[in-house]
Structure formats: structure tokens, C-alpha cells
Amino acid sequence: VTVTGANNCTKTATATVTVLPLPNATASAAPATICEGQSSIITASGGGSYLWSTGATTAAITVSPATTTTYTVTVTGANNCTKTATATVTVLPLPNAAASATPPTICVGQSSVVTATGGGTYLWNTGATTASITVSPATTTTYTVTVTGANNCTKTATATVTVLPLPNATASASPATICEGQSSIITASGGGSYLWSTGATTAAITVSPATTTTYTVTVTGANNCTKT
């Protein structure tokens, strides 16, 4: 600056403004795109200290946002100058995975169809890749399906098939061998109700066959399962 006095004399003076460089602040997310429930690591660089919008002060932070979120970090260099950087984590929705069994309860030896919905592709714990599978479990079994949506995100769903035991059906004839014209009493056990091949519905029937004959009884248990 040139200063001119009232007497028209002049003198110069100087002042220097020193400009310090900002830190080379950067931030990046890996991976930058995740599915709901997954995590991403966001890393900052370029300075001596860091302060994230989450309150963290480390160079790297692990985040699991529920929705797409932008994270901001303030980077402070050795010269105490600061600069901010941002990194965005994009969150993709999971498929609306569901599974159901029809019927959900079967008797031993019967089948159930288990169906999955909500995605583009399916993978069952049985190895099947169709939306529906037919199963005949020997005991109560839970089936798991991994559903993959169009965005490649996955979600699992389960369906349980309850298996009811068959009645302990038995039938015996007394006597088992007769002469023509004689009778035998055939008795069934193991269930709540009985239906014979003769049409009888009692636990025991008296028969007088003319030739050697096999009689069949269908025994129905309390759980409504049947066995012959």
C-alpha cells in the first residue's frame, strides 16, 4: 500500500497473506452398492485427522444403512486446513420372499406342494430351483428357499410341512384256519374307527368264507390318518 500524508509525502508498506493448501480429501465406499442388511466400508484419505458425519474419527468406517445414504467426512491436514468429502452407499431392496405349503399338514406317505414367491429365481435347500416343489417327508420338516430378485439381492423364506403318524393298524383272525362252514372272528386294532372290505365298521367281524379269503380293514387314527 502507498500511504500519502497530508503534506503530500508518500511511503509504502506491505502485508503478506499466506495461503495454505487444503488437504487432498477423498472418500470412497466399497462396495458402493449393497443389499438391505449388508455392510460397506467407507474410507477417507488425504489428511492427518478425520471426522465423519456419524461422529467416527477413524479413516475408515463400516456402515449398514437401511436406505441409500451419503456420508460426509471432514479431513484436517497437518497445516490445520480442512476439506470435506462425501461417499454414497446405495441400498437395494430385498425381494418380498415368502413360502407356503399346501397342505401344511399331511400323514406319513402323503405329499405336499411347497411354493415360493417374490423373486426372479429360487434355490431350495433340497437343491431344486423351481418356484414350487413337491415333497413327501417322513417326519415334520422345514424347507428353506433363497429368493433372488432382479437386483441380485437375496432373501430366505421357510415353510414347514407337519407330518402326522399313521395309526398302528393290525388285524388278526381267530382261528386263522377253518373248515368249510365254520366261522372266524377277525379283529382289528390301532385306531379310532374301522372300515372293512366287507363294509363293516366294527373293530371285530365274524366271517364264514367259502374259500380262503383275505380281509382288509382301513384304520383311521385320532389325527384322521389312515392305514390298512
Task: Read off the pLDDT of residues 109-134 as tens digits, 9 standing for 90 and up.
Answer: 999 999 999 989 999 999 999 999 99
Per-residue confidence (pLDDT) for residue 184, from 0 to 100:
98
Which strand ranges, in their side-by-side order, compose the sheet holding 98-102?
Answer: 98-102, 112-117, 132-135
Q: Mean pLDDT over residues 41-51, rounded? A: 96
Report residue 95's pLDDT band, with 50, 70 and 90 as the boundaries: very high
pTM: 0.82
- Cell numbers of 124, please? 431350495
Q: Is the pLDDT of residue 174 over 90?
A: yes
| Pair type for strands 40-45 and 60-63 | antiparallel
pLDDT band at 149 (very low <50, low <70, confident <90, very high): very high
The helix/strand/coil state of 218 is: strand
Query: What would the mean pLDDT of 145-150 be, rounded to a whole number?
Result: 97
Q: How far is CA 35 from the centre of its chain?
A: 14
Instruction: Tell me the average pLDDT across 44-52.
Output: 95
d(C-alpha 158, C-alpha 60), whole Å: 37
Q: Please write down the HEC assignment for all residues of 62-124.
A: EECCCCCEEEEEEEECCCCCEEEEEEEEEEECCCCCEEEEECCEEECCCCEEEEEECCCEEEE
pLDDT band at 93 (very low <50, low <70, confident <90, very high): very high
Asked if 127 and 145 count as a contact pair (C-beta separation under 8 A), the reply is: no
- In this predicted structure, the answer to whether residue 181 has a pLDDT above a threshold of 90 is yes
Residues 6+ apart with CB under 8 A from 209: none
Residue 191 has pLDDT above 90, yes or no: no
Q: Assign 47 a pLDDT band (cuts: 50, 70, 90).
A: confident
Task: Judge contact between 42 and 61, C-beta under 8 A.
Answer: yes
- C-alpha cell of 74? 471432514
Give me the count of residues in the chain: 228
